[in-house]
A and B are shown apart, each in its own frame.
Chain A
Amino acid sequence: MSAAKTATKRYAMTVDTRQCVGCKACVLACKAENAVPDGFCRQWIVEEIRGEFPKLSAEIRSERCNHCTDAPCVKNCPTGASHVNEGGVVLVTHHKCSGCKACIAACPYDARFVHPEGYVDKCTFCLHRVQKGLQPACVGVCPTGTLTFGDASDPESAVSAQLRERSSKVNHPESGAGPNVHFLV
């Protein structure tokens, strides 16, 4: 039953919609950690309220780039700036980017944006921190413990446990891109 841990990591994130209160600590911590320019954000909060007073239901989600397994942004990049790095994390090498924005048009989740310095930017799963054994900034700051990050190919990881134990969904699965941010419902 337990699969052997594969040599290739598959980083993924789970977002527990039961816990998330939409406080935006993640949004701001990410901005602080990654020096995201004013007016831009790499992650955001979506709040959906359904129903009619007084029969209402709510779902709150903390969203960012999904680091898709079959990322259309990477497929469409003409310079190789958009690439898949360690653990399946999709990154942009700044000095290879020409700013053609094909990746922005290709992204089903509109997760990317043009950085004022000219290259295209987005969430990096804080790989620079992960490689040092730290958590991504959003995961570390979240006061409600909504965010979990780890190696989904490792059955012992917290992320794998959550995906086993809880029902989850991804955003717009019909994109076919294979997103790796899962929303626990």
Chain B
Amino acid sequence: MATSRREFIQIGGAGLGAAALGSGLTTKWWGLDPDVVHDPGTDGDQVIPTFCELCFWKCGVLAHVKDGRVTKLVGNPEHPLSRGRLCPRGTGGTGLLYDPDRLKKPLLRKSTKRGGQDFEEVSWEKALDFTAEKLLKIKKECGPDKVALFSHGFGGSFFKHLLFAYGSGNVTAPSYGQCRGPREVGFNLTYGASLGSPEVLDIAHSRCLTLIGSHLGENMHNTQVQDFAQMIAKGGELVVVDPRFSTAAGKARYWLPIRPGTDMALLLAWIHVILGEGLYDRDYVEKNAIGLEELRAHVADKTPEWAFTETTIPASTIVETARFIAGARPASLIHPGRHVTWYGDDVQRSRAIAILNALLGSWGRRGGIFVPTQLNVPKYPVPDYAEKPKTTQDAPDGVVYPFAEEVLSHGVCDATVPGRIMTKGCPVKGWIVYGSNLLQALPQRKNVEEAIQKLDLLVAIDVLPAEIVGYADVVLPEATYLERWDDVAPVPWSEPFLAIRQQVVPPMYESKPGWWIAKELANRLDLGQYFPWESGEQMVTDRLKAGGYDVEKLKAKGVVKGAPVPVRTDEGLELAFHTPSKKIELYSKQMADAGLPPLPPWTRHEQPADGQFRLLFGRTPTHTFGRTTNNRFLSEVYSENEVWLNAKAAKEQGLVHGEIVTLLNQDGVRSQPVKLKVTQRIRPDCVFVVHGYGHTNPGLKFAAGRGMDDQTLVTRIAVDPVAGTTGMSVNFVTIEKAPGTTAAAAKAEA
């Protein structure tokens, strides 16, 4: 059939057209329909440096601000603690800033009893007047030392200053008596210096790091975890002593699942082996330490075989790990820990750790403990405090722990209840609580609540409605760290540096910066002369200028560094020990003189009975205990704690993974319902929970009711005779299916 030319052109044309169209379909129209690399647009128009306050490490951050909103927080590369990197909490600062449950206005208690949760919103004027009136009354009737400040957080400095000016030296934080205290005392007694925060550890250069209970990796103290990772990358090894298979244990060369309460036996046995086999740094010890022979005699009977009977760690393992740890000396560090208030002999255990470090020669050495340096900033000129601030410690019939370097929070609590520890004069009448949720931090909650009810004044200065806030007479809403200028305080570290905390965005709601609150109170207390600055910014910039610092540069970069100073012997540091003997005191004459054992004694602690489990608590990397549990952003990856129970033990108890249980302690206190995590990762004689959950303040709309509060189960404490700190890992629990669940009903029927 002949096709005409026209038809041919028609068909051909149609064909070509179709082909063109078709090829467009497959070539995305020859670039006319390009693909896009989307930019999320979170880079700020301004990038303002400051430092973080989601925990207490103070990592330098850069806050990106766009259209008046903080879009993201990233690490400040200039800052020696963050080095441009952040732990998850640092990134989560926006979750705090924009937390809808933040305290917004000053509040005055309406309910007759503290804790009734009935408040009225008032003006700042009214709230501050009320507070000042009460403080003046207490000063007049009982004396200024009857007011105590519980302060946790960098912004508390203004309130410490206020309290000293007012005439009280009772400034305390649970982070001492309930956390780091025994370690500082133990190391002070041995070396004449404490570890501080951030701990002065040269982990990055350690060849062997031994963790006694520390769970780095779940403990996300930024720099320390960075150093820990660097150590591992360079081939450093870990020895982890922990009843639980922590993240660190998962990376360890040796994991010793020690029976809780027996770490002292292990430490003494290690010292026994190291001394016995001559594996200690002879030159270092000879030159720098005293008391070696007394120590040798003291550990003569602390054999690995004996230690096995106490710790359940095989003797051969104890010997092998002793040799391994010592083999890496002097870059062999026994980590001093951080939260060490465990069993009541915590100072002695810290002493044992300090002694072991001395034998390894790690103090002042590369890969061990360094001697920090810091920049100086002149103080702002203010009048001298009228008198040396008195503390409850000075009270004649209060219990005094001479080696405790800080005021003990629970001591203040006890001093609030007439007759509990003091029988003469006024008890403590007023508490100012800055950023410290005492109800979850202090043990023996009944005692704390009793003390609270006895007060004439309870002031809570906070950002979120933590439980303590619900008990206050007056609530003063502070602005978050991103909304305020704080004082400047150089951090002792391996290099001298200074960082500032400046306002990134204006305070939201009616919250105010701490400097303003303290100044306003001072004015009403006739202490205005102690707060002569117009603003926090002015105060800090004046101090910096007086110190010769370039303020504009500091505001732009956030950090200024000084010339390097030797912090280790390999850098030229000359070792000096601020002990009475000017040497490392393996044997502590100071303690002997005070009637305390001069060498760490072994004490066998009570163990749980069959069917009971010791309650252990710790950290999770995304949170800072109760401080961040309402943070919805951080909670996206971890929102509720669980009870870890050994799989065999769970089977024996008829419990299954994921079911809801309650814990009942030896004093009959029951926990809130909590999910059970059945796991191989823990010894059968203990259970573990992440601390900081089980909130009860309904104002914490996200966190309230999630998980359990382990602190309510800490009704039994073991007071350390050396420092007066409270050991809290001495409570035993049984586990029951939560009442009201189908599992419980089934069991009841059976």
User: A128 to B88, Cβ gap below 8 A?
Assistant: no
Query: Is there a chain A Cβ closer than 8 Å to B140's Cβ?
Result: no
User: B37 to A141, Cβ gap below 8 A?
Assistant: no
Shortest CB-to-CB span from B686 to chain A, Å, is: 12
Which residues in A have their C-beta under 8 angstroms from that of B257?
A: 53-54
Shortest CB-to-CB span from A81 to chain B, Å, is: 8
User: B88 to A25, Cβ gap below 8 A?
Assistant: yes
Q: Interface centre among A33, A52, A146, by most B CB within 10 Å?
A: A33
- Show 27 residue pairs from A and B whose CB-CB distance is below 8 angstroms, ordered by the A residue: A21-B216, A21-B217, A23-B87, A23-B621, A24-B88, A24-B637, A28-B634, A29-B72, A32-B42, A32-B94, A49-B250, A51-B680, A53-B682, A54-B245, A56-B255, A83-B35, A85-B35, A85-B37, A91-B38, A93-B35, A127-B37, A131-B37, A140-B74, A140-B75, A141-B74, A143-B222, A144-B228
Q: 1/0 contact trace for A25-37 toward B, CB 8 Å?
A: 1011101111100
User: A27 to B35, Cβ gap below 8 A?
Assistant: no
Which residues in B have their C-beta under 8 angstroms from that of A49?
A: 245, 250, 679-681
Interface size on A, residues (CB 8 A): 51
Query: Is there a chain B Cβ closer than 8 Å to A118's Cβ?
Result: no
Binding site for A on B (CB under 8 A): 28, 33, 35-42, 71-75, 84-88, 90-92, 94, 216-218, 220, 222, 225-226, 228-230, 232-233, 245, 247-251, 255, 257, 621-622, 632-634, 636-638, 646-648, 679-684
Shortest CB-to-CB span from A59 to chain B, Å, is: 8
User: A140 to B84, Cβ gap below 8 A?
Assistant: yes
How far does the alpha carbon of A58 sit from the alpha carbon of B680 in the complex, in Å?
Answer: 11
Q: Interface centre among B40, B230, B679, B683, by most A CB within 10 Å?
A: B40
User: A28 to B92, Cβ gap below 8 A?
Assistant: yes
Given A24-B621, A56-B680: A29 touches B86 (CB 8 Å cut-off):
yes
How far does the alpha carbon of A68 sit from the alpha carbon of B250 in the complex, in Å?
Answer: 30
Within A123-146, the residues touching B (CB, 8 Å) are: 124, 127-128, 131, 137, 140-146
User: B38 to A124, Cβ gap below 8 A?
Assistant: yes
User: B88 to A27, Cβ gap below 8 A?
Assistant: yes
Shortest CB-to-CB span from B313 to chain A, Å, is: 10
Within A1-39, the residues touching B (CB, 8 Å) are: 16, 18-19, 21-25, 27-29, 31-35, 38-39
Binding site for B on A (CB under 8 A): 16, 18-19, 21-25, 27-29, 31-35, 38-39, 41, 45, 49, 51-54, 56-60, 80, 83, 85-86, 91, 93-96, 124, 127-128, 131, 137, 140-146
Q: Interface centre among A32, A60, A131, A141, by most B CB within 10 Å?
A: A32
User: B40 to A128, Cβ gap below 8 A?
Assistant: yes
Shortest CB-to-CB span from A93 to chain B, Å, is: 5
User: A25 to B86, Cβ gap below 8 A?
Assistant: yes
User: A22 to B217, Cβ gap below 8 A?
Assistant: yes
User: B35 to A28, Cβ gap below 8 A?
Assistant: no
User: B250 to A60, Cβ gap below 8 A?
Assistant: yes
User: B88 to A145, Cβ gap below 8 A?
Assistant: no
Closest B-chain residue to A48, C-beta based?
A: B250
User: B91 to A53, Cβ gap below 8 A?
Assistant: no
Picked from B37, B228, B232, B683, the residue with its CB within 8 Å of the CB of A91 is B37
Shortest CB-to-CB span from B214 to chain A, Å, is: 13
Shortest CB-to-CB span from A118 to chain B, Å, is: 14
Which residues in B have their C-beta under 8 angstroms from that of A57?
A: 250
